[in-house]
Structure formats: structure tokens, C-alpha cells
Structure 1
């Protein structure tokens, strides 16, 4: 384009009078333009010479200029870097560019370092908190809950850790409570046995049938407690074996009534069983199911009033399950009591249970046995209006 413009300038003006002004206006940094006339004499030069400095190194191109087929001059184009004699303006411009680039680069690096540090701290904070909490948990401490600031994988991990920590603390509390309750339950019969034996040794009590029978009764209670604890420990460990066979729940209910009828009659308590629909034969451990029903009836007998107590065993069937309920007209249970009734060693009235018998483990054993049968156990009660304990077992 510059070559054509110079030819047109020569034709319009009939010579190179204004060529230098034109080249100066067309000056490009890092490029030296030299215009020679037809005789090879320098007409104009830009980007070097005339106080503008000389180009150092670079490439040089020679462009012939012709008009009407006749040579009118030559344009020399040299590209490269300016020498130390370059214009002060160009040097200042390049220096300012270099300075701006350097400052921008420094700011970018500092910003990247700050942002990366903040981002790394933000991302690793939950991990650091979990590490500290895990170390505290391993040392037996109680770590504070981890704050989940995000809903991503780290947030879910923090929530899972909090849940695990809570469950471990809950399990530890239950373990401590179980040990305390077990020690208490073992201490009572042992203390009675010790006091009776010491009294007989000291001659305070006669060593007769009545006093020996009292000690024997405490040994039986102690043996039942140990058996109950063993049953629960086996269930917790998944080692409580079930002997499955075909079971007729109507027969089991009838056997329970026969077993408890003398005690019920002695207390003038009505005990009956009804089956409201056709009850199918199921596959289960008949002995364990008998144990569950016996525990429920024994529990009802302990809480109904003498002379006007009523206990009703009822069997019903659904397409998928068989349900067995034991309903009494005792004092009933509050909502808070119902939430705890299947816990180990829980008693509605701890002050009188020792007299009434029972270790506080019967309902917990019922829950464990029914769970092993893939069944469900529950209680429904209105305080002051009796209670209904029930369980369901799958028919297939």
C-alpha cells in the first residue's frame, strides 16, 4: 500500500518534493523507511537518521517504484530494534509499557497467591476440623460439632462425622448406664443373700426352711437376671440363634393363658384370648415367640389392679402379617414413658418393681427377639386408661 501511495504522490506532484513529510506521517515504530530517487540519492528517511536513531540489525527489503513503466525511485524498508540513538519519546513509551506490564504482573501474582491461600484455607478448614475432632474422639474426648459450610462432598462428610460422633457418644453413655444398672441389679440380690446368710451365721435368723428358701429365691432371681443379660448380649452380637419351625400362634397364646391362669385367678384378674380372624401358620422360633408373649402377659399382670384387672390377648391376621396384642386396664403410660418402655432396665415405677419381680429387661428382650424375626413391636397407651402391647410377624 505504501509503495502505491508513493508512486501516486510522485505522479501527482511531478517529483519527490513532499515525500519526506509523507513518510514521516506514515512512520511505524521499529521500521526504517528510506526513499531513493531514480539516481540512487536519498530523498527521505524515517525511523532512523535525522535525529531519529538508526535501526540495529533486522531485515531489509527493497521495493522498486515505477510510473508508466519508468523507474522513479526505490523504497528501502528495514525492520528491527532501535539502537541506543532511538527517539526519547519511543524509549519513554516502551519504558512505560514495560513498567505497566511489570506492575500488572506483580499485582496478578500477589492476587493469585492471596486468593489461592484463602481458597486453600476455606477448602481445607473442614478437613482440619475433622482431623482435630477425630484426634479428640480417639483420645476419649467429646469433640465439638463440625460446622458444615457447604453442601458438597466435604459438607456431607462433616455431617456424617457429626452423626457418627453423636452416635458414639450416645453408645458410650448407654454402655455406662448399662454397666451401672447391671451392677445395681446384681448388688440387690447379692446384698439380700449376704445379709440373710450372715444373720443365720450370727444366730440372728434360724437356719430353717423359710430363711433358706428366701436366699434360694434370690439366687433364682439372680440366675434369671444373668440369663436375660446373656440373651440381650447375644442379640446385640447377632449370635442369638433361632430354631425356625412351623408355629401356630393360637396354640402359643393358649399355652400362655394356661401358664398364667393360676396367678391371674389368685389376684382375681380376668385373662382371656381371642382370635378375630383365621390365623395362618407361620415360620418362626416357637420358643422365643412364647417367651415374648409370656413377658408381655407377665408385664401386664404386674401393673393391673387386683380384683378388677383385665388382660386380653388378641390375634389378628393381615395379608402380610400376623399381629398379637396384649391389652390391660392398668394405669397406662405417658408419651414419655412409651418412648422408653423398651429400653433396658427401664421401669415405670422403680420403687415397687423389686417387690413385683422383674429385672427391667423383659421388654428389651421382646424387642430384640421380634427384630430377629423381621417383625415389629409397639405400645399404645393413654395414661390412666390401660395399655396395649403388640407385635407383628411376617407370614412369609
Structure 2
């Protein structure tokens, strides 16, 4: 069970406290306003009722003064009116216009001597002039309703406060319920993140909630899947690197031990085999370094404006001897106009070399007539598009999804010498991405494959502007 300190810092507890505080503040304010409004309104009602009760006496006093011209003998009128009204312990006081007491009636104690001490004060008007003031003191000083009126006010106020307390308790219950319900997805996320911190990747949480919490759960699930895939890829990469390094190292170690034991003679031919394996190791390490730098965004690029057509011709010329030896027809389709790009020429040649090497390696297994590899270039306006096509066995849809993954080979049965290290196409994608381009493959199983590369092209006016700024020779 969570400790009190942990509960105090829990989000559901804070939400509940916030709900309760808002509800309590609202209930208290409403109760105070309702209490005040009820008290003032009820007292006004009572006073108005009392005023109506003594309105006849007020009129009689006004007629008396108008007829007499003074207040002499008016006390008999007050005494006659008091018992008739059934006021019991109440009292009546008549004040002259100068504030002097001119007549008393009713109870013998607690006579009001001023308007402040009276429950009701009624002005006596004669011809628009105030001739006096009638002060009324209700029995028990209760402002018209006596003890019954005060008791009624107490009951109403008690009902308001009890209703407010019930509202606060209801708010507490609803606050706990809603807070626990609202924070349940967050608790699931917390538990899932703790499991991921312990190495249990691939955790998933419920996404039935909508709104911000639902979006957070969906993003967490996507992140979890991505992390699990990345970890699996990392482990697979480590296994592949170990496998790729073990083969040349084992060959090198075996040859050296054989020469040391006298099994093999230390001839130039045997040393050449060892040297070739060290070169393979060096290329593998260079490929891994290039790939890691590119994926980390730290691959250095010496960007210049270059004609992509020239790079194509150079690459095709470099691979023509290998294609001829393999019996592959290697052709290049270059447009008449220059296709200018801003790129690192050596890196683009590396992309072309990897694509051509991959095509020549697989096209020989094709059954679609004489093996052919075609390198094409198209100017698409804003982009320059390269296509490397072959009529080999093609790729299955599953193979197309993984063709650019590290250490992936379409045919796992092929040896490293036959199938390459599995890094060439991954390096192509990394270099193309570094040049703000994109690369993909189109293929149908049994009908060859076409690798397509698009790179941002330099517009003709930009090329002319750069040419105009270039210094001229003498």
C-alpha cells in the first residue's frame, strides 16, 4: 500500500484536492451569499408586513394631527390601537417633529427612544410635512416576526449550510472517482516505462482514451515499438558485424598459423591471400564508419556544383571491364544537356559504384535473356533522377522492405564474396539522405529490379549565376 507521503504527491490526490478546494470555495461563497440574501430579504419582508399592519394607525395619527393641529391627547389613540393589534409585550412611541416623545403605549419596558432602537419607524405626514414619527417595538425585539421569524431564519441558514456540506462531500467523492479515472492511463504509462527501463522493450498501453491522453498513449506505443525494433536491429547488427569480422580474421589467422607451423610456405602467393583478407577487413571497417557517420548526421561532404552526367560516364567506364568479364551488357543513357547538382562527387561515385556492383552481382542469375544493366539519367526540373535497372531475378515485396537494411542479403545462402557485406545499399541510402535526396526500389519478382535515386538539381539560372561569378583566366 502506498505510503502517505507518496499519496500526497500523487497526481490523482492533487486533482482530488483541487476539485475539493474549488467545490468548497464555491459552496462557501454561495452559502454566504444565500444566507445574506435570505436574511435581508426575509427581514425586509417582515418589516414591510409590520408596516402594513400599522398603516391604519399611521393614517389615524395623520388625521388626528391635521384635525387638532398638535399632539395633545394622542396617547389615548395609541393605547386604543395597541391592545387591538394584539402586540402583547410590544410598545409604541410617538415622537414629535423635533424628536421629543409625546405619547407612549404598550409594554412598560424597552421603549424605543430613537429610530435606531425601533423595529419599525413610520413617518406621520400632514400636507407633505413630517409632523411626527411612530416607533414600533415588536414583542421580543424580533423585527416583526418575533421569535418565530428568527427561528425560521435559523432553520433556513442551517439548511443552506447542511446542503453546502453535502455538496462538498459529493464533490469529494466525485473528485476521487474522476481523478482516479483520469490518471489511470498515466499510471499504466508509468508502469510501462518502468518495465522498459528494466529492459522489457515493446510495452503497449491501452489507447481507448481520446484527446491528449489518447495521443500520448499512441505516441508511447509507437515509441516502444520503434525502440524494440531498434534494439533488435542493434543486436542483429552486432551479430552480423561479429560474423563478418570473424570470417576474414579466421582466414588470416589460419594462414599465418599454417605458415608459422610450416604447413604453408611463406610465399608471395600465400602472403597475398592474407593481404587480401586484411583489405576486406579494412573495407568493412570503412563501410561501417561511413554508415555510422551518415546516420549520425556527421558525414563530411565536400559539396561542389558538378555535372551528374560526367559522374555517370566515369562510373560506367570503371565497371565496363567487370561487366565484360561477367558477360553483362552495361549501357548508359545520358541526356544531351548537362544535369547539374550540388554534391560531393566522391560520395555520389560511391553510390553509383555500390548500385552498379549490386546490379552486376545479381543480374547474372537472371533468366530474362542476356544479362543487362542500364544506368539512366533524367532531368525532372527540380530533381535529377538516376535509375539503375537490371533484368535479373527481381525482388519479392518482403525483400523490398529490407533491401536497404544493414547486413541484409536477398539470398542468405550466398557467401560474402558472392553477396557482398550487406552494407552497400544501406550506405547508398545514408549518403543520398545526407544530400537531401531519396532512394527506393521498384521490382517484380522474376522481372528484374530498378533502383531510383533523386537528388536536388541546380536550376539553369543558378548555374549561370555561379559561372558569371567565377574568375576568368588571362
TM-score by length of 1: 0.79
Q: Is the 8 A contact 1:279 1:322 kept in 2?
A: no
Displacement after TM superposition at 1:125 (Å): 4.4
Aligned to 1:363: 425
Aligned to 1:263: 322
Greater strand fraction, Structure 1 or Structure 2: 1
- Classify the secondary structure of the residue corresponding to 1:59: coil
**After superposition, what is the alpha-carbon deviation per residue over 1:284-338, rounded to whole angstroms, capped at 9, x for unaligned?**
2111111111110100111112682110111111211211111000000111111
TM-score by length of 2: 0.67
Q: Count residues in correspondence.
A: 378
- Classify the secondary structure of the residue corresponding to 1:77: strand
Displacement after TM superposition at 1:234 (Å): 1.5
Aligned to 1:352: 414
Instruction: Check if 1:116 corresponds to 2:188.
Output: no
- Of the three residues 288, 291, 296, the one matched with 1:237 is 296
Aligned to 2:55: 4
- Classify the secondary structure of the residue corresponding to 1:300: helix
Q: Is the 8 A contact 1:256 1:293 kept in 2?
A: yes
Aligned to 1:335: 397
Q: Is the 8 A contact 2:429 2:439 kept in 1?
A: yes
- Of the three residues 212, 219, 244, the one matched with 1:185 is 244
Q: Separation in 2 of the partners of 1:118 and 1:253?
A: 70
**After superposition, what is the alpha-carbon deviation per residue over 1:106-143, rounded to whole angstroms, capped at 9, x for unaligned?**
20221222233334444544555544444444444437
CA spacing shift, 1:68–1:266, aligned 2, 3 Å:
closer
Q: Separation in 2 of the partners of 1:64 and 1:240?
A: 101
- Classify the secondary structure of the residue corresponding to 1:352: coil
Q: Is the 8 A contact 2:78 2:104 kept in 1?
A: no
Q: Is the 8 A contact 1:37 1:73 kept in 2?
A: yes
CA spacing shift, 1:225–1:64, aligned 2, 3 Å:
closer
Instruction: Check if 1:316 corresponds to 2:373.
Output: no
CA spacing shift, 1:103–1:224, aligned 2, 3 Å:
same
- Of the three residues 211, 223, 248, the one matched with 1:151 is 211
Instruction: Check if 1:377 corresponds to 2:439.
Output: yes
Displacement after TM superposition at 1:250 (Å): 2.2
- Classify the secondary structure of the residue corresponding to 2:453: strand
- Classify the secondary structure of the residue corresponding to 2:413: helix
CA spacing shift, 1:5–1:300, aligned 2, 3 Å:
same
**After superposition, what is the alpha-carbon deviation per residue over 1:164-212, rounded to whole angstroms, capped at 9, x for unaligned?**
4443333322222221111111112212223333344445545445444
Q: Is the 8 A contact 1:313 1:324 kept in 2?
A: yes
Q: Is the 8 A contact 1:59 1:79 kept in 2?
A: no
Q: Separation in 2 of the partners of 1:80 and 1:288?
A: 108
Displacement after TM superposition at 1:215 (Å): 3.0
Q: Separation in 2 of the partners of 1:278 and 1:190?
A: 49
- Of the three residues 326, 334, 341, the one matched with 1:282 is 341
**After superposition, what is the alpha-carbon deviation per residue over 1:352-371, rounded to whole angstroms, capped at 9, x for unaligned?**
14241511000011111111
Root-mean-square deviation (CA, aligned residues, Å) is 4.0
- Equivalent positions of 1:198-237 (< 5 A) are 198-237=257-296
Aligned to 1:107: 166
Q: Separation in 2 of the partners of 1:18 and 1:304?
A: 131
Q: Separation in 2 of the partners of 1:146 and 1:20?
A: 83
**After superposition, what is the alpha-carbon deviation per residue over 1:225-254, rounded to whole angstroms, capped at 9, x for unaligned?**
111001111212322111222322222222
Q: Is the 8 A contact 1:136 1:143 kept in 2?
A: no
Q: Is the 8 A contact 2:58 2:122 kept in 1?
A: no
- Of the three residues 97, 100, 106, the one matched with 2:156 is 97
Aligned to 1:59: 117
- Classify the secondary structure of the residue corresponding to 1:351: coil
CA spacing shift, 1:314–1:73, aligned 2, 3 Å:
closer
Greater helix fraction, Structure 1 or Structure 2: 2
CA spacing shift, 1:257–1:20, aligned 2, 3 Å:
same
